[in-house]
Amino acid sequence: QVQLVESGGGLVQAGGSLRLSCAASGSIFSIYVMGWYRQAPGKERALVARIRSGGSTDYADSVKGRFTITRDNAKNTVYLQMNSLEPEDTAVYYCRLLGTGDYWGKGTLVTVSS
């Protein structure tokens, strides 16, 4: 089994920054992709950013230039640096790991006030 634990969510004013962390533990034999998804009230869960084992990244258009995903392979941890936050970024943010299985964290709430 693989466990993902997210941290770093909270309340921030528009224009502020937050850094999310997701630490993976357990029976990790291989990691192909780690990423962040978010789900706002009344909306479907959607990709925010992901990083592959080779280091290549993808971002949702709405966060390009504001968010940065990085990864510490030695710690099996992925980070999401979120700058210039907007009220539209308010959501529950979920970590996802694709390896031998497909694993999700429980989510961390990010609230951006205007």
Token output for 29: 């034999």
- Residue 110 identity (one-letter amino acid): V
Q: What is the pLDDT of residues 46-105, one digit of tens each?
A: 999 999 988 999 999 999 999 999 999 889 999 999 999 999 999 999 999 998 899 999
Please give the backbone phi and psi of residue 98, each rounded to the nearest 5 degrees, phi first: -110, 115
Instruction: Report the alpha-carbon distance of residue 94 to residue 109 in Å, rounded.
Output: 9
pLDDT of residue 29 exceeding 80, the answer is no
In the predicted model, is pLDDT for residue 43 greater than 90? yes
Is residue 50 within 8 Å of 68, Cβ to Cβ?
A: no
CB 39 within 8 A of CB 64: no
Q: Identify the sign of the CA torsion 19, 59, 93, 72.
A: negative
Longest dimension (CA), the chain: 43
Q: pLDDT at position 20, please?
A: 98
- Mean predicted confidence (pLDDT) in 33-54: 96
Token pair for 95: 């970590």
